[in-house]
Amino acid sequence: MKNNDLELRQEVFKSDAIKILQWMEDEEITRYLNESPNVCSSIRNTLNSINLPVLTHLFNQNGSFYMITKKDESIGFLKLIPKGKAVEIVIVIGDKEKWGMGLGSNAIFQGLKEAFFYWRVDEVIAKINFENERSKRVFKKVGFDVDRELKKEIQYNMTMNKFLKIAA
């Protein structure tokens, strides 16, 4: 999937896994993520034990995983995770030099197309930490609405009908 020079790529190469590991070890990048505490050791163990150039199958076990690339350079990742009749979207721009350039909203929009047109879901949700102002801004910019407040985060949502109006 391409939009300008930003692409969501489903193939995850070993070089991508190395970058993901570096991003996941950076507290500034992961501060608001809800990843398992052992995600870094899991990626490290995978890199040390599996000698395959493509690791796509390992990253797609709980949904769909996409590398966000700009001019073929991996700058982040996006996940779509099934949640009943909805899909949860998670996005990380790991390349901090690319923060604030509108790439997150572009990637989210592409992820929405994937969720609504290929997965055929009625709703996409995003759970965002109360303190994560950057994520709250980008999801509102794309058109998400506040759905409800949870214990540690705010749940935003986008329906298929609203997306079709925005995309038209």
In this prediction, residues 104-132 reach a mean pLDDT of 95
How confident is residue 2, by pLDDT bands cut at 50, 70 and 90?
very low
Contact 24, 77 (CB under 8 A): no
Are β-strands 2-3 and 6-9 bridged in parallel, bridged antiparallel, or unpaired?
antiparallel
pLDDT above 70 covers what percent of the chain? 92
pLDDT at 136: 95
Q: How many helices (H) and strands (E) does the chain have?
A: 7, 8
The tokens of 8 are what?
A: 């969501």
Residue 82 has pLDDT above 90, yes or no: yes
Domain interval for residue 143: 2-167
With a pLDDT cut of 90, the percent of the chain lying above it is: 61
pLDDT in tens, 17-60: 889 888 888 888 878 877 666 666 677 777 667 776 777 777 77
Contacts of residue 23, defined as CB under 8 A and 6 or more positions apart, other chains included, come to: 29, 30, 76, 92, 94
Whole-angstrom Cα Rg for the chain = 15
| Whether residue 105 has pLDDT greater than 50 | yes
State the CATH number of the domain containing residue 158.
Answer: 3.40.630.30
With cut-offs at 50, 70 and 90, classify the pLDDT of residue 116.
very high
The pTM for the full model equals 0.89
Give yes or no for residue 168 having a pLDDT over 70.
yes
Is it the case that residue 88 has pLDDT exceeding 70? yes
Total structural domains within the chain: 1
Residue 23 near residue 94 (C-beta atoms within 8 A) = yes
**Can you name the residues that pair with 64 across neighbouring β-strands?**
80
The stretch 77-102 carries a mean pLDDT of 93
Question: What is the pLDDT of the chain when averaged over all its residues?
Answer: 88
Contact between residue 62 and residue 81 where contact means Cβ atoms under 8 Å apart: yes
